[in-house]
Structures are given as structure tokens and as C-alpha cells.
Amino acid sequence: MNKKAQLAMIDLMVAMGISLIMIAAIVISWNNIMNEINAKKGLDDMHIKLLQVSDVLISSYGTPSSWEKDVNNIESLGLATSDRILNTAKLTAASSLSTSIITSLLQLQSYKLIVDVKELDDTPLYQIRSTADSPSETVTLIVLNRLAMLENEVVKVKFTFWK
């Protein structure tokens, strides 16, 4: 047998092995990059949804505007009498709503939300929950603090959001 033919065959096998290793490295890298992009997109979607929910709750009065008088006819949930001025009666009524109603009104089917209204020294005043669960350490959690007025006092509104 010709030695040149044997060397050519060995060269071909080495070249194919290196090519396969390179293709596998590219596929694995591509997969990792796509996973990171999808995770970032999911986190961005959560941030957008949380900002939308927080704006609706502390900037609008809901529909009808006096929904707190008859909670059976709520069309949309809002906690304010005007932009960032919270209404005590609405907070009290929202605190007593069931988690399923809050989830439905805020369209949070795949998300969970806890809204804590506290004095600036962290004394709790009201809590509104879309879930009975508390977030575990393994979930992606976003916390947003906003300031608002309640009965001529500045209060902290803490939104805890997770999937």
C-alpha cells in the first residue's frame, strides 16, 4: 500500500475531527448566547409589566372612579384620586380583594405581585397581593419603590414582582 495514500487518509481524519470539534463549539456557543438573550428579554418584559402596573395603581383612580363603594363592579383597579395621591378608601378596599380578582384586574396571569404601602420609616399601612405565596429565593424578583401621597403624608409604595 502506498504510504502517501495512508498519510492523506490520516490528514483527512484529523481535519474532519478538528472540523467537528469547531462545529460543536459554535453550536454550544450559539445555544448559550440564545439562552442569555431569552433570559434578558424575559427580564425586560417583567420590568415593563411592573412599570405599567405601578403606573396604573398609583396614577389612576380605576373604573368606575368610585369602585371602592361597590367592589363587585370593578372594571379596572386604581388606588389614586389623582396622579400619585392615594385614596385611603381605595387602599382599604383593594387590601380586602381576593388574589384572583387582583390577578384578573391587573392581567397578571403569569406574574405575582405584592404591593406594600408603608410610611417612610417602613411602618406598614396596607398590603395588596395577587398571590398568597411569598417569593422564594430561586425566582427572579424585581422590587420597585415609588413615592406617593396619602392623607398629606409622603408614603413609600413598594412593588415586589416575580414570575
Task: With H, G, I as helix, E, B as strand and everything else as coil, classify residue 1.
Answer: coil
pLDDT, position 71: 86
Cα separation, 160 vs 131, whole angstroms = 11
pLDDT, position 47: 94
pLDDT, position 2: 60
Written as nine digits, the cell of 11 is 490528514
What are the C-alpha distances in Å from 127 to residues 1, 21, 23, 84, 107?
A: 85, 56, 54, 17, 18
Q: Which of 45, 62, 78, 46 is nearest to 142 (CA)?
A: 46
The continuous run of DSSP H or E covering 126 comes out as strand 124-129
DSSP at 67: G
Q: Is there a contact between 84 and 148 (Cβ–Cβ < 8 Å)? A: yes
pLDDT, position 17: 94
- The bridge status of strand 112-119 relative to strand 124-129 is antiparallel
What is the mean pLDDT of each successive set of 10 residues along the chain, which is 163 residues long? 68 91 95 92 92 94 91 92 94 93 91 95 94 82 95 95 91
pTM of the model: 0.78
State the CB neighbour count (10 A cutoff) for residue 95: 15
